[in-house]
């Protein structure tokens, strides 16, 4: 029997599910237990195809808009990314029982934007156009009072009503370094702009990026376990590349690994986006174990103990 080549695996920690994702998935599962199938979910509860398919199998029905939901007594759950204010308003008009599974850290950004608006400030949102979290944050304020900036050019071209009356917030899943450079551009162009008391990039995004930075330059390749539509997973791949890793790939399942690219490596870093379950990390490692003799080492940069309780409607004392 041919001897397998050795492969040193550096496993990033923390990786995978964050507290907001756990809360959102638990919300769907708890609603299914309490109210029975089907339970409706507006948009993917988190950006991971494996998770979404698993919840579909249990009786969750995913829709993009509320008008796809028939008149029903069954609940509809809003995803972890948050929704514009108009969505709960529509749900209330249609007497739809809505449960908000927005990540509390996204809700914090919504409240910051509202706070600044109430004080008459124009709000700039640093983020990626079209991402559900950005759509939700933009939808917290009236049109014309919050503006998306994606690049330094957007900042240069922005013409405020009053340069002394500006504030900014950011998407929670951005690259730490990209956001830092955008904030520097904002404060350089608008010295009086007001920022968050605590930065908006979420703890899980920060921790996962720091772990990738720690090992990226010391491995031949890096695999980020996650979905292509997951912002935080895409940022992990970018961070790996910027930090010196010559080959970085975003992979959902073992079947998606381009094995020819990894044939001659002797070291591999593995991490997972905040919406990727550990079972997929294990699946991919098992696939590598079929081809290599693995030597696994965990590289930890932070301990995470954050916990968010279920939405109020699903807690035992309030559930019907």
Mean pLDDT of the 291-315 span: 95
Domains of the chain: residue spans and CATH: 6-17+203-300 (3.40.1010.20), 19-103 (3.40.50.11270), 105-189 (3.40.1010.20)
Burial (CB < 10 A; 0-12, 13-18, 19+), residue 30, is buried
Burial (CB < 10 A; 0-12, 13-18, 19+), residue 195, is middle
Q: Give the pLDDT confidence score for residue 198 in this predicted structure.
A: 82
Q: Give the pLDDT confidence score for residue 319 in this predicted structure.
A: 53
β partners of residue 10: 269, 297
Give the pLDDT band of residue 73 (cuts 50, 70, 90): confident
- Judge whether 297 counts as a catalytic residue: no
C-alpha radius of gyration, the chain, whole number: 21
pLDDT at 290 over 80: yes
Contact call for residues 198 and 225 (beta carbons, < 8 A): no
How many percent of the chain have pLDDT more than 70? 98
Q: Give the pLDDT confidence score for residue 42 in this predicted structure.
A: 96
Displacement of CA 51 from its chain's centroid (Å): 14
Candidate list 2, 133, 163, 317, residue with the active-site label = 133
How do residues 85-105 score in pLDDT, each as one tens digit?
A: 999 999 999 999 999 999 999
Cα–Cα distance for residue pair 137/131, rounded to 1 Å: 10
Cα–Cα distance for residue pair 304/207, rounded to 1 Å: 9
Q: 104: closest CA among 311, 319, 259, 317? A: 311
Other CB atoms within a 10 A radius of the CB of residue 82 amount to 26
Please give the mean pLDDT across all residues of the chain. 95
**Own/partner pairs, 118-122, CB within 8 angstroms, 24+ separation:** 120/165, 121/165, 121/166, 121/167, 121/194, 122/146, 122/147, 122/160, 122/161, 122/162, 122/165, 122/166, 122/167
pLDDT at 50 over 90: yes
Cα–Cα distance for residue pair 221/292, rounded to 1 Å: 14
Mean pLDDT of the 219-248 span: 97
Mean pLDDT of the 44-67 span: 96
Poorest-pLDDT segment among 14-23, 34-43, 65-74, 128-137: 65-74
Q: What does residue 42 show for φ and ψ, rounded to 5 degrees? A: -85, 115
pLDDT at 282 over 60: yes
How do residues 263-276 score in pLDDT, each as one tens digit?
A: 999 999 999 999 99
Other CB atoms within a 10 A radius of the CB of residue 77 amount to 27
Q: Give the pLDDT confidence score for residue 315 in this predicted structure.
A: 87
Give the pLDDT band of residue 320 (cuts 50, 70, 90): low
Q: 74: closest CA among 52, 91, 51? A: 91
Q: Give the pLDDT confidence score for residue 298 in this predicted structure.
A: 97
How do residues 111-126 score in pLDDT, each as one tens digit?
A: 999 999 999 999 999 9
Cα–Cα distance for residue pair 221/241, rounded to 1 Å: 10
């Amino acid at each position: 029997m041919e001897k397998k080549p050795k492969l040193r695996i550096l496993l990033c920690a923390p990786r995978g599910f964050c507290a907001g994702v756990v809360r959102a998935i638990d919300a769907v599962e708890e609603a299914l237990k309490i109210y029975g199938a089907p339970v409706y979910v507006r948009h993917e509860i988190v950006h991971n195809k494996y998770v979404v398919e698993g919840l579909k199998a249990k009786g969750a029905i995913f829709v993009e808009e509320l008008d796809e939901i028939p008149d029903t007594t069954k609940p509809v759950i809003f995803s972890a990314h948050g929704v514009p204010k108009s969505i709960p308003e529509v749900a209330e008009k249609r007497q739809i029982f809505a449960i908000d599974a927005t990540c509390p850290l996204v809700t914090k950004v919504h409240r910051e934007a509202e706070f600044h608006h109430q004080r008459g400030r124009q709000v700039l949102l640093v983020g990626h156009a079209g991402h559900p979290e950005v759509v939700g944050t933009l939808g917290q304020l009236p049109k014309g009072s919050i503006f998306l900036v994606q690049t330094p050019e957007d900042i240069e071209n922005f013409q405020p009503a009053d340069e002394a009356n500006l504030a900014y917030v950011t998407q929670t899943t951005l690259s730490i370094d990209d956001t830092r450079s955008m904030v520097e551009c904002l404060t350089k162009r608008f010295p009086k702009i007001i920022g968050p008391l605590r930065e908006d990039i979420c703890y899980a995004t920060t921790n996962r990026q720091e772990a990738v930075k720690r090992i990226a330059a010391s491995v031949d390749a890096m695999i980020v376990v996650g979905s292509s539509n997951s912002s935080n997973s895409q940022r992990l791949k970018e961070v790996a590349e910027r930090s010196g890793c010559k080959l970085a790939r975003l992979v959902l399942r073992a079947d998606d690994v381009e094995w020819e690219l990894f044939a001659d490596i002797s070291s591999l870093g593995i991490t997972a986006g905040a919406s990727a379950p550990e079972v997929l990390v294990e699946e991919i490692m098992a696939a590598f174990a079929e081809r290599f003799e693995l030597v696994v080492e965990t590289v930890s940069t932070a301990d995470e103990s954050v916990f968010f309780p279920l939405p109020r409607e699903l807690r035992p004392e309030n559930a019907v």
